[in-house]
Amino acid sequence: MPLGPWRKKNKSKEHLVDNEEVGGGHAGSAGSFAKSGSNGAGLPPPPANLRPKLVFHTQLAHGSPTGRIEGFANVKELYGKIAEAFNISPPEILFCTLNTHKIDMEKLLGGQIGLEDFIFAHIRGIKKEVEVYKYEDALGLTITDNGAGYAFIKRIKEGSVVDGVKVISVGDHVECINGQNIVGTRHYEVARMLKELPRDKSFTLKLVEPMKAFEMLEPRSKGAKPASENKIGTGRGTLRLRSKGPATVEEEPTEFEEKAVKKVDDLLESYMGIRDTELASTMVEVGRDKKNPDEFAMALDETLGDFAFPDEFVFDVWGAIGDAKQGRF
């Protein structure tokens, strides 16, 4: 099954949302949700008149009136609905946070939204271009993406190459690397491109930072720390956004799910330089009832055909899921 850590098996561009080196669409029809358990494959949506109507409140993070949105089944459609509410273009939205207007990577919207969560949309702000001298193999960046074609910086390691370039900040969208436009490129591909840049040479990044209100201007953050006890949502349930199949309303994650997803997300960062809680959640679902690593690897291949994970990574993920089942962390 494994084909190497970066090689993809096919050219499919479907997103697995809803992300060390490197978790715009159109508006859908109202009420496009299906209530079910955690079926990773997704089921055909029920008739429109039987779908629950879920309404969420939203604001632009730099300041705006409150809008109401509904009828989205994935992240691209969510961005479309937010754009429609505020009369902006969907590509203006870089990413969303839940229950805070700040650029807080612990509160980043991934593949799940609590039914009582408030959505803040961070839109494109100042463009900047910076030259970086790569004097070490690792740049000290963790990359994620917004599920709609934008990769951005989720963490900057203290004391790293990038940490010394103060114009680069957590939340910055990476638009170009050495003049190559990477909009539409998944986070793991951006991570690979940065990792493969030659050492002891300079390279150029074109970045777009999120728009900030005056009171939000503050020293740059290093980003989210790996350890977090924050829950995905504050409501009694969560809306799970999928790239395939309808969105589903589910119970809040169990302690096992939270611990397993956290550990798998850490492994994604360690092996592939990305953080993606939705991808981690999918892997935990796939491995929940598998009896051995080989069965798990085959199921991953069927479910996540776009990825080709190294054997060691698959084995460690299998072990992490088993440890969570046994309550060993």
pLDDT at 10 over 80: no
Mean of pLDDT values over 261-265: 86
Domain borders along the chain are 55-210, 254-326
Q: Which residues lie across from 204 on neighbouring strands?
A: 131
Is 189 in contact with 212 (CB distance < 8 Å)? no
Mean of pLDDT values over 124-128: 95
How far, CA to CA in Å, does 40 sit from each of 72, 88, 166, 227, 281?
18, 33, 41, 26, 9
For CA atoms 69, 72, 75, 77, give the dihedral sign. Answer: negative
What digits encode the pLDDT tens for the residues 236-246?
A: 466 656 555 56
Per-residue pLDDT, 29: 34
Is 294 in contact with 306 (CB distance < 8 Å)? no
pLDDT at 21 over 90: no
What digits encode the pLDDT tens for the residues 210-233?
A: 998 754 545 445 555 443 433 334
Mean of pLDDT values over 245-255: 65
Mean of pLDDT values over 99-115: 88
Per-residue pLDDT, 245: 58
Q: What is the CATH T-level fold of the domain 55-210, as seen in this structure?
A: Pdz3 Domain (2.30.42)
